[in-house]
Chains A and B, each alone.
Chain A
Amino acid sequence: MDTSTIRSIKELPPEENMLPGTAACAGCGGLLTLRYCLKALGDKIVIVNAAGCFTLLTIYPFSPFRNSWLYTAMACAPAGAQGVRDALDILIKKGKLDPEENLKVVVLSGDGSAYDMALSSTSGAIYRNLDFYYICYDNEAYGNTGFQHSGASPFGSRTGTTPPGKEVPVGSQLQKKNLFDIWNSHKPPYIATVSPAYPVDLMNKFKKAEQFKGPKLFISHIPCPPGWGFDPSRSVRLAKLSVETGLWPLKESVHGEVEHTYVPKKFKPVEEYLKEQERFSHLFKPVRQEDALKSIQEMVDEYWKKHELLP
């Protein structure tokens, strides 16, 4: 195992394990995350893909991957991963597969699957200490089918099913689920939050995760140009803003112990992040919804106060 840490983007491995020509939207933040993840994981992997945006990456007869790919329904990717893992283990044990040819099992899912439908099968997989990687690309709604509300949609956002109106001008009234804490309460060996704007942090987390046997879970907050409503060129900028405003804390947990891997020296106001997106535009015009904006900022401040990291 290579334990050397990467310090700059110049040191990112040059190998590309995902090729261009995918059906993903221009400027897809999830695709950028996946590209980095596959650089870290290498090509000796099996991807177990839950239904979602990334279903569209592999459309017969095309595949952008250099590795195998298995497609499952939204609720059962971790169960599919268990089957693949078991099959590999049995083949190796029986001597039918050279241990050299062993593969890493990787679940790839969107937030709809990870936060909502597959939560029970994920819980089961962590509980059984299944040796796998889980990557959730979280664009905070069901992006593939028209951006409907999911368990990951944040308070105050407009989604396909929570449009701001006369009765409820704020859009979504619900708070985003805290998937990191839900996973962490299972005490798996490794969990991390990552961002496509911080590839060095992302790569090093994957490197660190390699040493653990058992569930290794990653949640990546990713900008979605059509869903969030911004120009595709601003994708990385928005991913960066979500971290710099404190909305998306970059952290990891080893056997339940949480540590933040990046704390902004000076937090930007969340408004800077919100005002760049169409899905929050109703908070600013025709009238500024001061209460909603204030409560979003307070929610962020409270988080960092709780962890005693607010400067």
Chain B
Amino acid sequence: MLRLRFHGRGGQGAKVASRVLGTAAFLDGYNAQDFPLYGAERRGAPITAFTRISRDDIMERGLVSDPDIVIVMDETLLSDPQAMPLSGLKKGGIVFVNTPLSPLETKEEYGIEDHVITLDITKVSLDMIGKSVLSSLAAGVASRIAGIGEEALKGALEKELSGIISDRDLLGKNTEAALYCYNTLVPVQVKTAETIREKENVITLPFETARVSSPAINATGNTPLRRTGNWRVFRPVWNYDICTRCMTCVSRCPEGCIRLNEDGYPYADYDNCKGCLVCAEECPVKAITKVREIHSRSEEGDQ
């Protein structure tokens, strides 16, 4: 049996990706299971989705805690203690990461020792669909790695997406982008051992009284520590030659994370800017441009 786990952010399409993969496997003659897991729904929060594929009956239920294949749709999740995409991955397992980095660079950047496959599916999505919605593309990637046939994938995309997307044109673009991802990846053999990889970074906390373990209960205004800036696909960048210091962006930012520097020019707190780009849209003189966020390479620039 193949066990897959998708890690994405709310709104990216991890749930739909696992569903398309499940249907594709079914159409290809396998038994399949697919289901998501998320808490209170919202855009940007880490979510997980699971798919099981087998020639035999699937008697296993519940979360996939020891996957053979992990699909990471947002690379910032690799360093997110809440998501921990690699936990429980079996020896010889495969990690797919949505990143512009090469597999080797990704291994170094995130300290991964397993088999890594990469593709910048966000870029593919922006180029081919026009927006960053990754459900069908991630399904294409996962189908390739899991060894599902192309026709089955096509059938599954039609079946699952036609219920969500009413626009035939958009559905066509999604299918095209998914097949592009499918055919870009080189087929692999998944040969996982039953043992789990050694590098396991689950942290166990000793029991402490509430006063010691949760001193933040009386803290106020501590959400900036969460650094929601890793939700961004685009970042706003200011051109101070054009900026008139009119304060519109400072006023219109829903998060309130645009501040003024010593000269009265605005700048964003990139640790917490979610990249909604209301600032760029509202700027009366168009002094703000949107720049594609490459998280793995922007860290040094931030500090």
Name, among B216, B222, B223, B274, the residue most crowded by chain A CB atoms within 10 Å (CB to CB): B223
Cα-based distance from A237 to B255 in the complex (angstroms):
17
- Of the A-B pairs whose beta carbons lie under 8 Å apart in the complex, a sample of 28, sorted by A's number, is A9-B251, A10-B246, A19-B222, A19-B256, A20-B224, A20-B269, A20-B273, A23-B45, A25-B44, A26-B43, A55-B40, A56-B40, A60-B217, A61-B216, A61-B217, A61-B219, A63-B219, A65-B220, A66-B220, A144-B40, A144-B42, A146-B41, A196-B254, A225-B43, A226-B11, A226-B43, A235-B254, A236-B278
Q: Are B221 and A26 in contact (CB under 8 A)?
A: no
The contact size tier of chain B is 35 or more
Q: Are A236 and B223 in contact (CB under 8 A)?
A: no
Secondary structure at the B interface, as helix, strand, loop or mixed, is: loop
In the bound complex, residues from chain A placing their C-beta under 8 Å from that of B231 are 26
Task: Tell whether A10 pairs with B255 under 8 Å between CB atoms, given A26-B276, A62-B216.
Answer: no
B166 close to chain A: CB less than 8 A:
yes
- B38 CB to closest chain A CB, in angstroms? 11
User: How many A residues, CB 8 Å from partner?
Assistant: 48
Cα-based distance from A31 to B277 in the complex (angstroms):
15
Cα-based distance from A20 to B253 in the complex (angstroms):
10
- B234: nearest residue on chain A (CB-CB)? A233
A145 close to chain B: CB less than 8 A:
yes
Identify B222's interface contact among A9, A29, A56, A63, CB under 8 A.
A63
A35 close to chain B: CB less than 8 A:
yes
- B282: nearest residue on chain A (CB-CB)? A236
Identify A31's interface contact among B45, B246, B254, B281, CB under 8 A.
B254
Q: Are A235 and B40 in contact (CB under 8 A)?
A: no
- A239 CB to closest chain B CB, in angstroms? 10
B275 close to chain A: CB less than 8 A:
yes
Task: Tell whether A28 pairs with B254 under 8 Å between CB atoms, given A235-B276, A236-B282.
Answer: yes
Cα-based distance from A31 to B272 in the complex (angstroms):
14
Cα-based distance from A244 to B179 in the complex (angstroms):
44
Q: Are B223 and A64 in contact (CB under 8 A)?
A: yes
Cα-based distance from A235 to B274 in the complex (angstroms):
14
- B252: nearest residue on chain A (CB-CB)? A236
A282 close to chain B: CB less than 8 A:
yes
Name, among B11, B252, B271, the residue most crowded by chain A CB atoms within 10 Å (CB to CB): B252
B196 close to chain A: CB less than 8 A:
no
Q: Are A20 and B41 in contact (CB under 8 A)?
A: no
